[in-house]
Amino acid sequence: MDYARLNIDLKDLQRRNRGLGLALSALVLALLLALGTILKIAGTERTVIVPPAIERAFWVTSERASRAYLEQMASYVAYLVLDVDPETIDWKRNALLDWVVPDQHATMKSRQELEADRLKRINGATYFRPQQLVASEERQSVVLRGRLRTQVNGHETSNDTKAYLAEFDFAGGRAQLKTFKDVTNEDPRLLSSAAAAADAR
């Protein structure tokens, strides 16, 4: 038996085993790093969505949305709530209720039904023209400023500068309207500075 050759083969096998062990360790380390990265980004991925009328792209996570998305949603909500007449208010009310958080659904439905009865009784219509939108990603809200025109029997009765606050909540990446209220009599500087301060944090 050639012990010298056997020794050489044994050392060669040991060297190969060390190399395979190092390669296996590197693969395990890479797998652990990949697993850590996946766990870190799980549930926080951003989905980029292009709206039906392509204006701007925006991102949405399971709990938040970008300014562009908030502005477009607030504009849509304002259209459903404020651009109404006796013929359109019923279907716009139903469309709006699809976006309202469950605990505000009954309140919003009652409010819109009262407004529908009022508009039908006086044959009125309102039209809102947004002039400024101030969105806060921190608070997931938008302040809309613009002019609200009111007509009764086809005659304009008012054309006032108004401000409205729209606040949103997100469940599973879907926007839900928490609040839509008139903030015209609140100090606009406070609303703007609050939004700016929230986003600065």
- Domain of 134: which CATH number? 3.10.450.230
In the chain, the number of structural domains is: 1
Look at residue 126 and give its three-state secondary structure.
strand
pLDDT by 10s per residue, the chain, length 201: 577 777 787 778 888 888 888 888 899 999 988 888 877 766 555 544 444 454 566 666 667 778 888 898 899 999 999 999 999 999 999 999 988 999 999 999 999 999 999 999 999 999 999 999 999 988 989 999 999 999 999 899 999 999 999 999 887 767 889 999 999 888 655 555 544 444 444
109, part of any domain: yes
Angle between helices 89-97 and 67-82 (to 10 degrees): 140
Q: Which of 199, 179, 173 lies closest to 64 in space, CA to CA?
A: 173
46, part of any domain: no
Q: How far apart are CA 196 and CA 198, in angstroms?
A: 5
48, part of any domain: no
- DSSP class of residue 103 equals G
What range does the domain containing 76 cover? 64-200
